[in-house]
Structure 1
Amino acid sequence: MRPDVLAFEVAKLLAPHLPEAAGLDVDAIAELLAPPAKPEFGDLAFPCFRLAKALRNAPPKIAASLAAELAPALAAAGEAGLIAAANPAGPFLNFRLRPHVLGALLLPAWARGERPNFSATPVHTDQKIMVEYSQPNTHKAFHVGHMRNLCLGDALVRLLRATGHEVVAANYLGDVGTHVAKCLWGMEALFADQQPPQEHKGEWLGKIYNVASNQLEDWEKAGKDGDTAAAAKYAAARARMTEILRGIETRDPVYRELWERTRQWSLDEFDQIYAWAGVEFDRVFYESEVDEPGLALVDEFLQKGVFVESQGAVGIENPEIEHMPFFMLRKSDGTGLYATKDLALARTKFEEFGVDRSIYVVDARQSDHFRQVFLTLKKMGFAQAELCEHVAYEMVELPDGAMSSRKGNIITIRALREQLAEALWASFFTALRESEEGASWTDAEFEAAIHQVSLGAIKYGMLNRDNNQKIVFDMAEWTKVQGGDGGPTLQYVCARSASLLRKADERGKAIDAALVSGERAPAPGTLGDAAELALMREIINLPSAIGHAASRLRPSILCSQLYTLSRAYNRFQQQCNVLRQDDEAVLQARLLLVQASREALAWGLSLLGIPAPERM
């Protein structure tokens, strides 16, 4: 179905009454039609500013003239017509739609599970897009702060695919570098008397890394304060880390085996986390695979004259970035930097996948780095550099401040899962288990529901704030099911609507299949209650929110619309009796609205990576 199906139908009725000089075809008119500032003004509004020049008249007068011209056609259509009234309001012509006709055009496709097709809209392009996100480092802890990147990147992939784009989901794992050497040094120097655990080895490496980092910081600080013994320990540790790193880079069998074995522990943990989160990647890149190509690239573009030498180092002059005019790409000792690998990675993306647009989901602290990378790619001759984009986001904090390994308040993903489950049992699921409805649930069903709602809590919490705003991770607020404003509350609305439809089936009041197929339309006089109209308006607004979220790379736009849709559904169910309804036409129209609402809300949640439970 068209995302703007109602606007398109109104545009077809309006088009014959507009002058050719306006240059507006049906699609252009549909694009201009939008909800008015207030619902009481109508369902759609057409701005008449575009007609002022062609008609040589003021927009308010044009709106009044169009309303008068449309009146006979609207009267002739009667109860079967979509437009019930066309009323001028200043420079706008407001349309009020006939509820049952609106319902017939809008609801059946949603109820059947059809999805808006964005291929003919401005939101869609023919670009092949790569979204790179997650990017954890091996040998370090994967914690709740990493979830913002994971949730944001996954949502962008889903939104872009939903709007018709070809998308490659990519990950870039930091599996080499100083952090690896630090962890392995800590393993031999500080954890020599400990054996790796049978499970959660990746998490154990993260613990070692944190302990090692803190120890090195303590020795370094003490050394600067005059403690010669601490200074000697720090120097020896740094020398040993250099030796470990060199051994890995030169493929010394002893160091290489240790690196590969411990690296796999982290990769296994990442795979478990991604499986739990329902995230999949089309391509996983590794720093280790672009290390040597990065250095070769520096030599290539140095010979081409794009890069220059400066005091033994190699880089590029980027005076456009005044506070960082020289972008170093190879240090004087011949080693590369993160930037070196990012350039080699970009080339691999362009050549291996032929991507037109490359999106990097990385925290806001790297904004200057990516300005340099994109500018350098442009000077290297890559046309795709114009369509490289850094989606920056702010950090995740706890209610009492920033997370810190030194403070010991980092929440690993395993701990996060346990805490989410504990909070959800306390806030909702214990009462459900003790209720009559919950008595029929199996342990497996409770476990599946806890998993689904945990994802709703963490993903919605990570996505409902704008990218440029910090997030405060608040377990109690995020896990509220009833009366909250997070993901679990929206999931509960999905479950309530599914429960209502099941009860209708059980009572012999199942929805008429002819209504869902569109063979039969809702009866005149139905769907006119204020709560019904408000709910249909929010379903109408959903495709637009999805389009805006995808084009602006802001999933928070969709979160806001889904929250508004869920509130409209709750008001509808409170104010409009569905099952205890004697009027069969009203019953059927409302069941159609319930099914369409559930499908719309469930699909919107799926674009955030959030499941829509059938029961809660």
Structure 2
Amino acid sequence: MKIRHYLEESIQKVLSEVFSLEVGIDELQINVTRPEFAGHYTLVVFPLAGRMRMPPPTAAEKIGAALLADYRFTAYNVVKGFLNLTIDSTLWMELLEEVRYTKDYGQLSSRKETVMVEFSSPNTNKPLHLGHVRNILLGWSMYEILRAAGYQVLRTQIINDRGIAICKSMLAWEKWGNGKTPESANMKGDHLVGEFYVLFETEFRKEYMSWQETRESQRIFEIDSDKGESAEAFFGRYKNQYFNSHSTLGAEARQMLRKWEEDDPYVVELWRRMNQWVYDGFEKTYERLGVSFDHIYYESETYLLGKSIVAKGLDQNLFYKKDDGSVWVDLEEQKMDHKILQRSDGTSVYITQDLGTAEQRYEDHDADRMVYVVADEQNYHFDVLFAISELLKRPYAGGMHHLSYGMVELPHGKMKSREGTVVDADDLMDEVISEARAIALEKGEVNSLSKTEQQSIVEKIGMAALKYHMVRVQPQRRMVFDPEESVDMQGQTGPYIQNAYVRIQSILRRSASEDRVDYYKYSPSKHEMDLLVQLSEYPEEIGKAAEAYDPSIIANFAYRLAKLYHKFYNEHRVLSAESDEAKEFRLGLSQGVANVLSSSMNLLGIQMPDKM
């Protein structure tokens, strides 16, 4: 029994049959009744009153009376233009039976629409880090939420396995690696390659600082610096120009990139070897995070298709070539500027491979929508990508969406991958699980279990702390991740929600052998009704989260449900209830809450332990 669905249909029928007013369900504004008023749901009558040619309070009274006469409502009250409705208790009991015994309660009807969600999409020059963790968890949650909302969903990533950044790591290994491998260094391959990326940057900074002492640098400063600009400010912003125009290391890295694009055997073999080290490391991290992919794309494969798209755009006069041979697109009509699509030496840029990847994905899967989970630093990039796809009149252009999210920081500040100040995803997981282990051992409830059972529970608690903390904030907001705060059993955390579930499992284990009693005539208390209303809203919350591309809607729903259950538990006896009917109802209610807590947390990639 979907309470909200019944409510919407009943109001729609009353408006049509009694008032000759045809209103779509999407036009009805229905909210859960505020706690200070009697009722379960509230209809906002103001938008309807004008069409009914009545003052809002009068329209609300008439609608309420009509619902009470012919439908399963037991009371109503009017507050100005708000109609508060009380729904017949038998409907709530039917809902409870559904929540208690239906495995997939909350899932919406199947839709004939395929959505592809791209997330993670790392570079192969460094390990996955804290920023990737938020990206991965948002992407995975959206995959699960969209599936629950009835869509056919594909998980994908584009691995940025070529380009100047990758060549920096390769060049550093070639110059200073002395043949080191993950095995000889006893390190994960992605961590080893990341060390060489940092080493390149360290050596490049030394080179740049030395160059700043030369006459050539002083001459450039005198010519190119803005009026009144300090040398420190000028050389701070000139760093990229120096890399491209003057740097010996920069020239070597660019030469390596050109050799790669020319299929130089040595460079390609080194590239394959070091990338494989990284892939092996990524796979271990993904496995620990509990994520996987249906299709992985590689920039090294799609950039060529992107270059062919650029060539076609040139032939169609949609793009233009500058005197130096570089290819550009004019997006001034789209209220953007001119964007480079291909460098003067013929090498591609990020937008080139993204054009090729979108085309390849459409050919492979004919997806109706493509959702890109990428940080808000790339907002402009995706505006350009979507605008170019529209310009090229690609059939998938209208279904492209950028799930933009704010960067994540630690309490002590930002991270910089080139300077080696990034927190690796592996280290982050270790730290959170360590925090969870300390709390679990302090509470003492897992001490009687085997080491294997203890480790399994601690892993679930730690990963719940990490994952929940990352997705509870709206994606567009920047956030600070505090490992210690994330495991707080009393805060808005994953472990707090897990604790409600574990409490219920303990109750259910102690009642497992008892016979069922009919509880349909039981009259629920205020706390019990609050839980029923919250359970009834679960399908609605899934729909909202899918439409808004926002997993925090589910995260906050799960927290509210757990908080309500803790309140209910503190106010009501379950196994020693005042009557058999109350006991059976509360057992059913507890089971329903446990089911929905488990289901909603699963949408966030979080597993529930039976004990804590």
Counterparts of 1:200 and 1:554, CA distance in 2: 33
1:105 counterpart = 2:94: yes
What residue is the counterpart of 2:45 in the other structure? 48
Q: Is the 8 A contact 1:396 1:470 kept in 2?
A: yes
- Whichever residue aligns with residue 429 of structure 1, its letter is A
Counterparts of 2:57 and 2:422, CA distance in 1: 60
- Secondary structure of 1:305's counterpart equals coil
Q: Where do 1:479-518 residues align within 5 Å?
A: 479-480=487-488, 482-505=489-512, 508-509=513-514, 512=516
Change (3 A) 1:297 1:64: closer
Counterparts of 1:306 and 1:236, CA distance in 2: 37
1:429 to 440, 443, 468: 440
The alpha-carbon deviation at position 582 of structure 1 amounts to: 4.4
Q: Which stretch of structure 1 is more off in the superposition, 383-392 or 38-47?
A: 38-47
1:248-305 Cα deviation digits (max 9, x unpaired): 2222222222111111111111111111111121110111001222222221221122
Q: Where do 1:70-469 residues align within 5 Å?
A: 70-71=67-68, 82-99=72-89, 101-112=90-101, 113-119=103-109, 126-192=112-178, 194-196=180-182, 197-226=185-214, 235-311=247-323, 312-322=325-335, 324-405=336-417, 408-426=420-438, 428-432=439-443, 435=444, 437-469=445-477
Counterparts of 1:395 and 1:11, CA distance in 2: 40
Counterparts of 1:152 and 1:227, CA distance in 2: 50
Counterparts of 1:537 and 1:424, CA distance in 2: 32
Counterparts of 1:504 and 1:330, CA distance in 2: 68
1:394-432 Cα deviation digits (max 9, x unpaired): 111111110124664422122122212211111x22135
What residue is the counterpart of 1:79 in the other structure? none
The alpha-carbon deviation at position 204 of structure 1 amounts to: 1.2
Counterparts of 2:389 and 2:26, CA distance in 1: 40
Change (3 A) 1:272 1:104: same
Counterparts of 2:124 and 2:108, CA distance in 1: 39
Counterparts of 2:216 and 2:48, CA distance in 1: 82
Change (3 A) 1:333 1:62: same
Q: Which stretch of structure 1 is more off in the superposition, 184-193 or 602-611?
A: 184-193
In the alignment of these two chains, the number of paired residues is 583
Change (3 A) 1:530 1:225: farther
2:558 to 550, 556, 562: 562
Counterparts of 2:29 and 2:490, CA distance in 1: 37
What residue is the counterpart of 2:583 in the other structure? 587
What residue is the counterpart of 1:615 in the other structure? 611
- Secondary structure of 1:18's counterpart equals helix
- Secondary structure of 2:332's counterpart equals coil
- Whichever residue aligns with residue 280 of structure 1, its letter is S
- Whichever residue aligns with residue 601 of structure 1, its letter is L
Q: Please provide the CA RMSD for this pair.
A: 2.6
Q: Which stretch of structure 1 is more off in the superposition, 393-402 or 247-256?
A: 247-256
Change (3 A) 1:51 1:194: closer
Q: Where do 1:14-53 residues align within 5 Å?
A: 14=11, 17-20=14-17, 22-24=20-22, 28=25, 32-38=29-35, 40-49=37-46, 51-53=48-50
1:320-378 Cα deviation digits (max 9, x unpaired): 354x4212111121111111111111111122111121111111111111111111111
TM-score by length of 1: 0.89
Q: Is the 8 A contact 2:129 2:425 kept in 1?
A: yes
Counterparts of 1:417 and 1:193, CA distance in 2: 30
Counterparts of 1:387 and 1:247, CA distance in 2: 37
- Whichever residue aligns with residue 442 of structure 2, its letter is A
Counterparts of 1:180 and 1:227, CA distance in 2: 32
Q: Is the 8 A contact 2:106 2:538 kept in 1?
A: no
Q: Which stretch of structure 1 is more off in the superposition, 341-350 or 102-111?
A: 102-111
Q: Is the 8 A contact 1:394 1:468 kept in 2?
A: yes
Change (3 A) 1:178 1:89: same
The alpha-carbon deviation at position 315 of structure 1 amounts to: 1.8
Change (3 A) 1:205 1:71: closer
1:524-576 Cα deviation digits (max 9, x unpaired): 233x2121111112212222222111101111121111111110010011111
Counterparts of 2:14 and 2:252, CA distance in 1: 81
TM-score by length of 2: 0.89
Change (3 A) 1:41 1:221: farther
The alpha-carbon deviation at position 29 of structure 1 amounts to: 8.6
Q: Is the 8 A contact 1:504 1:579 kept in 2?
A: yes
The alpha-carbon deviation at position 128 of structure 1 amounts to: 1.7
The alpha-carbon deviation at position 165 of structure 1 amounts to: 0.7
Q: Percent identity?
A: 28
Change (3 A) 1:529 1:401: same
What residue is the counterpart of 1:58 in the other structure? 55
1:9 to 6, 10, 20: 6
Counterparts of 2:216 and 2:26, CA distance in 1: 78
Counterparts of 2:352 and 2:26, CA distance in 1: 49
